[in-house]
Each structure stands twice: as structure tokens, then as C-alpha cells.
Amino acid sequence: MPAIPRSYVAAFRLLIAAAAVTGITIECAHFPPLRVFTYFTVLTNAAIALTFAWSAYRTWTRRPPIPPLIHGAVLLCIVITGLVYHLVLANDASDFSESEALGARTGALAFSNQLLHTVTPLTVVLDWLLLTAPGRFPWRYAGQWLLLPLAYFAFALIRGPFSGYPYPFLDVDTRGYPATLLTALLLALAFAALSLLLILLDHHRPSPRRNRISPSAPRPLK
């Protein structure tokens, strides 16, 4: 695999940030921003936008990569976003399917839906697999990363009685606390397994070719 120029890597990461910003902007143009930012999807994509804009800058200026704790945290959250959307919310076979409401989205809203739930998860994973060095995630990060979805779960339950629950599997009014807490526990176990899997893959995936900074072949002195 040929080395990828640093400028291309920076541009790719900037495009990831731009995709996240575009999706969030479209959502805010159609719905109240305070409501939009109650969704895990939007909060995660906002974190992706900030993190990858920062990463693009550091890549362009030849600075060290962003801290692996931050990189892994946003990676886990955006993978959760993509998996929950496609396996739970947009899946007709799921007990929590919202495929009918999602299918009613057209035009810009359908576009933003794909940006936030498909494009950013896939491109962030590709960036991790193809453009970053392996072995940067220690095992202790698994528990630290989980604090973010757990904090969101607490936020959703506290806010829900006043302004509504953002996701059907967190809707205490419909399902009751026992069923909701059981679902949350199962999701937490799944997310814990996912974080461990990401670390395992990070330790065993092949190392991508380093970005070419200077020509490798010797050149005569001028």
C-alpha cells in the first residue's frame, strides 16, 4: 500500500468534520436546536466535528496525533451511533423500530440522516483502520470510554419526565422503569463488549504505511 500524503489525510479528516457539521446544521434548520442536541447521535457527531477538525489541523502542521483516549472515545460513540441506528431504530424486525418515521424523511432531512448515522460512522472507522497507528489503546480505556454513554443515559432519564425521552428504548412512560433499566443494562454490556473489541482489534490490526514526509530515495546534494 503506497504511503498517503499528509495533506490527503488532513483533507479526509476535515471532510469527516464537515459531514458531521452539515448533518447537524440541517437538523437545527428544521427542529429547535435545544431539542436537536438532546440526541446521542447529534452530541456524538458534534464531538466528531471538533475532534476531526483538530486532528486535521495537527496532521497538516505535522504535530503528534490527538490523544488516544479522546480518539477512542469518539470512535466508540460513533460506532454505537451507527449500530443502534441500523440494527435497532431503522430495522423493521426490532421492537424499537422507527423505520416508518425515518422513511417519512425526505430531501435535506433524509440526507442529514445518512450523514449522521452512516457516513460519519463509516469514515471514522476507515480513518482509524487505515490512517492511524495501531496499539494506541490500553485496556483500561474500555471502562473510561463507557462513562460517556452512561452519562447520556442518566441525562436522558433525568430530562425525560419534563421534555420527553429521545429514544423509544429509553421511554420510561411507555415501558416503565424495570424494562427500561433492563434494556439499558443489556446495552451497557453490549457497549462494554464493543469497547473491548475495538481495543483488541487495535492491538492486532496491521500498521498502515506512514505518511510520506520526505522522499525515501537518496538525492544528490545541491
Say yes or no to pLDDT of 218 above 80: no
Q: What is the mean pLDDT of residues 16-45?
A: 97
pLDDT over 60 at 220, yes or no: no
Structure confidence at residue 208 as a pLDDT band (50, 70, 90): confident
Q: What are phi and psi of 25, to 5 degrees?
A: -60, -40
Q: 6 — phi, psi (to 5°)?
A: -55, -35
**What is the pTM assigned to this prediction?**
0.91
Instruction: Report the 10 Å Cβ neighbour count for 110.
Output: 14
Spatial distance between the Cα atoms of 121 and 76, rounded to a whole number of angstroms: 10
Residue 2 pLDDT: 57
Mean pLDDT of the chain: 92
pLDDT at 1: 47
**CB 82, CB 122: distance < 8 Å:** yes
φ/ψ (deg, to 5) at 72: -65, -35
**pLDDT above 90: percentage of residues in the chain:** 89
Looking at per-residue pLDDT, the higher value among 185 and 1 belongs to 185
Asked if 44 and 74 touch (Cβ cutoff 8 Å), the reply is yes
For residue range 60-109, what is the model confidence (pLDDT) as tens digits? 999 999 999 999 999 999 999 999 999 999 999 999 999 999 999 999 99
For 116-148, what is each residue's pLDDT tens digit? Answer: 999 999 999 999 999 999 999 999 999 999 999
Residue 107 to residue 110: CA distance in whole angstroms:
5
58 CB burial (10 A radius; 0-12, 13-18, 19+): middle
**Are 113 and 101 in contact, with CB atoms under 8 Å apart?**
no
